[in-house]
Amino acid sequence: MNLEATLISLVAESVQSLYGLETTANQIQIQKTKKEFEGELTVVIFPFVKAARKSPEQTGTEIGEFLQKNNSLISAFNVIKGFLNLSINKSYWLETLNLIHEDAEYGKTPVTNNSELMMIEYSSPNTNKPLHLGHIRNNLLGFSIAEIQKANGWKVVKTNIVNDRGIHICKSMLAWKLFGNGETPESTGMKGDHLVGKYYVVFDKAYKAEIKELMEKGISEEEAKKTAPLILEAQKMLLAWEKNDAEVRQLWETMNGWVYAGFDETYKQMGVDFDKIYYESETYLTGKSEVERGVVEKAFYQRDDKSVWADLTGDGLDEKLLLRADGTSVYMTQDIGTAKLRYNDYPINKMVYVVGNEQNYHFQVLSLLLDKLGYAWGKNLVHFSYGMVELPEGKMKSREGTVVDADDLMTEMIETARETSQELGKLDNCTPDEIEEIARMVGLGSLKYFILKVDPRKNMTFNPKESIDFNGNTGPFIQYTHARIKSVLRKATESGIDCSKLKDTNLVISEKESYLIQLATEFPGVIRQAGEEFSPALIANFIYDLVKEYNQFYHDFTILKEENENLKQFRLVLSESIAKIIKTGMGLLGIDVPERM
């Protein structure tokens, strides 16, 4: 039983004994004591005042005296108006520290054979361009949420749907065919995804030039966009692809192969992975057949031009296109097919889509369509809707080539981390290999932490310069603290000090030290809340608060030079426990922490 549950039980016992009042756990409110008052936990007294027939202060004093007299857990109390502040016996915190220290998986709930399965979809790239800053936020959130849910006892399948077909893919293919002169990743030295992305931009420039030329001939902009030769040729290529034209399919396989090789490099550098990858080219036909079944069963309807629609006006929405007049599918069709295939492949209890908030309507519709097709799980889909990420300069546009490339950004972050660390002397006495590994950890850690510490549902601005700072709420500040603790522990080991277990649980420790232990006990609850709210930011900011408190302790107290051997050993056990929580918490964010800096 945890401390809060124990206190609830004791308070219930006290009000029953003192006032004959039967209470439930929900009626007893326990909260952290405000920093300006003495104590660790506070009981709200107001619910018991009527039964006691006394003032809040008198009622609180009586309950406090009862608790202190009947349980050794309470060492002291004070009453401020209607709030009973309780001081917990220091020996309790020391015994708790031992439990934390001994638990290698502290904070995590083990996954068992009976654990439910959560599938989490993230990344979902198009094969016509490399990954960019927006994809970085998506991938980091998806991977971190998966790690957090595993830590909460879920079986997790990390999945990716690659949008490898459609008009946008044909744009890159057509531009390469017309203007590429046979370029390949090998002949240019470019990553494959970058090469294909180059031709997506080339298409857009050439297409805009055609639109301008047509408008100069008196054609309206809307008509010019529809009749420009390039867009007509791209649409023709898409139809040829759907009819399995051998030449188009061969070009498609070649260029997608270039992109996949590039994506793999980026994912590896970013530190994210997937258990199962689905491809739109393999799921859209299932989606089409499901839509056609929906027409037969009157869930959807077909217009005179042969296009298929869902009428969602009865659900407070509008009408949604599911198949175009020429029989080609849309994103929604593919998502219906992918959903069906996934539930065929896995016994999913919860399906989570990590997709930006500009797609809120899409997933609202998808849930309704799956329900109309008779799938009970349609209503239970979770769209984890996150905010957009921008740079100080503003929004990015892929087709105009103004995006921040993920590879370039990660390389820049690692280089900046190397330079900053060297300037601050953090890499002194490190070998060249250690310098490279620390630069990678700090560079990527600063990027990941800066993005993940923000409430995921909010839009954010990523500022690379702010993210690499060894002070404040940053990844490097936390990483350096971990390395500092590890350095102290290495020196203790070299001195032959046994840190395996705290020997004296009756030590007199300071309020600062007991507060650090109390903070450490909150870690499992933070993991639980982060899972319930799908919010890595809760873990990021908890770890920062813990590190900030530890650094104040490190500044105010001696560790290795402490003359009292039992106190020295306690502070080493405390430090090692804090380091473990830092490593676990940062690991849930996908961030590595160095052993030395």
Determine the distance from the C-alpha atom of residue 138 to the mean position of all C-alpha atoms in its chain, rounded to a whole number: 8
- Say which CATH class 407-588 falls into: mainly alpha
Q: Judge whether 93 and 574 are in contact, CB under 8 Å.
A: no
Instruction: Report the distance separating Cα 337 and Cα 344, nearest Å.
Output: 11
User: CATH fold of 122-390, please?
Assistant: Rossmann fold (3.40.50)
Burial 186-223 (b: 16+ CB within 10 A, else e): eeeebbbbbbbbbbbbbbbebbbebbeebeeeebeeee
β-pair partners for 391: 394
262: tokens are 């590039």
Superfamily for the 3-88 domain:
Arginyl tRNA synthetase N-terminal domain (3.30.1360.70)
Q: What is the DSSP letter of 180?
A: -
Encoded amino acid at 88, one letter: I
End-to-end CA distance of the chain: 39
Q: Which residue spans of the chain are classified as CATH 3.30.1360.70? A: 3-88
Instruction: Report the distance separating Cα 573 and Cα 565, nearest Å.
Output: 12
pTM: 0.91
Instruction: Report the distance separating Cα 487 and Cα 481, nearest Å.
Output: 10
Q: Tell me the pairing of strands 389-390 and 460-461.
A: parallel
- Nearest Cα to Cα of residue 167 among 357, 324, 320: 324
Instruction: Report the distance separating Cα 301 and Cα 316, nearest Å.
Output: 18
Instruction: Report the distance separating Cα 252 and Cα 148, nearest Å.
Output: 37
Q: Judge whether 385 and 457 are in contact, CB under 8 Å.
A: yes
Q: Which residue spans of the chain are classified as CATH 1.10.730.10? A: 407-588
Q: Tens digit of pLDDT per residue, the chain (597 long)?
A: 478 889 999 999 999 999 999 998 888 999 999 988 999 999 999 999 999 999 999 999 999 999 999 988 999 999 999 999 999 999 999 999 999 999 999 999 999 999 999 999 999 999 999 999 989 999 999 999 999 999 999 999 999 999 998 899 999 999 999 999 999 999 999 999 999 999 999 999 999 999 999 999 999 999 999 999 999 999 999 999 989 999 999 999 999 999 999 999 999 999 999 999 999 999 999 999 999 999 999 999 999 999 999 999 999 999 999 999 988 788 899 999 999 999 999 999 999 999 999 999 999 999 999 999 988 778 889 999 999 888 776 544 444 445 688 999 999 999 999 988 888 888 888 888 989 999 999 999 999 999 999 999 999 988 877 888 888 899 999 999 999 999 999 999 999 988 888 888 889 999 899 999 999 999 999 999 999 999 999 999 999 999 999 999 999 999 999 999 999 999 999 999 999 999 999 999 999 999 988
Instruction: Report the distance separating Cα 19 and Cα 48, nearest Å.
Output: 8
Q: Tell me the pairing of strands 74-80 and 83-88.
A: antiparallel
Q: Judge whether 417 and 439 are in contact, CB under 8 Å.
A: yes
Q: Judge whether 348 and 117 are in contact, CB under 8 Å.
A: yes
311: tokens are 């009428």
